[in-house]
Amino acid sequence: MATEDRIKDQNAIHAVANEIEGHLLRVLSPWQGLKVRKVSGHGGYVAKLQAEFDRYCSDHGYNVQGQPYWLNVYASYTSLIATVRDHSGTAGSVEVYLGRFNDQTGVLTSLGEGTERRTDYTLSEVEQALATAYQLEEQARQLRSSVSVFSRR
């Protein structure tokens, strides 16, 4: 359910995610073509890069008890992803794609291009979009129903 507070919190976490994404892409930029992930043992980032991520979080107040935002940078298959979580409001979390690495060598092969998330949603705009989506879904259900005798089972 959309509320003014929910919209405000989502706009805020989008602004933080936009900022973090730019910073992390700059942190990762010199690592292109270099090993960023350990491929043996328990995996993880190479020590120097992990230290950079830790310093970034510390310098910006992320992952600190009592602060609103938590940042987790992790690997999923061959992608580098960051998750920004809002522990103070209703926005939840935002995932940020950072790049791709070779899972056999741990080498960073490409960086993400960055995504500019909107930070100016309004309650009326969100309510209108949700209402329109529901109407379109209902029209699609009725249309499928009208030709259901032709669908394969």
Token readout for 3 is 């509320």
pLDDT at 153: 61
Element spanning 96, H or E:
strand 93-101
What is the distance, to the nearest Å, from the Cα of residue 136 to the centroid of all Cα atoms in its chain?
A: 27
What residues contact residue 6 under an 8 Å CB cut-off, 6+ apart?
A: 90, 91
* CA count, 13 A, side-chain hemisphere, 6: 8
Mean pLDDT in runs of 10 for the chain (153 residues)?
A: 91 96 97 94 91 96 92 95 90 94 96 96 97 97 93 71
Residue 61, amino acid: G
pLDDT at 8: 94
Phi, then psi, of 108 in degrees rounded to 5: -70, 115
Whole-angstrom Cα distance, residue 22 to residue 9?
Answer: 20
pTM greater than 0.75 = yes
pLDDT digits (tens, 9 = 90+) for 21-55: 999 999 999 999 999 999 887 889 999 999 999 99
pLDDT at 75: 94
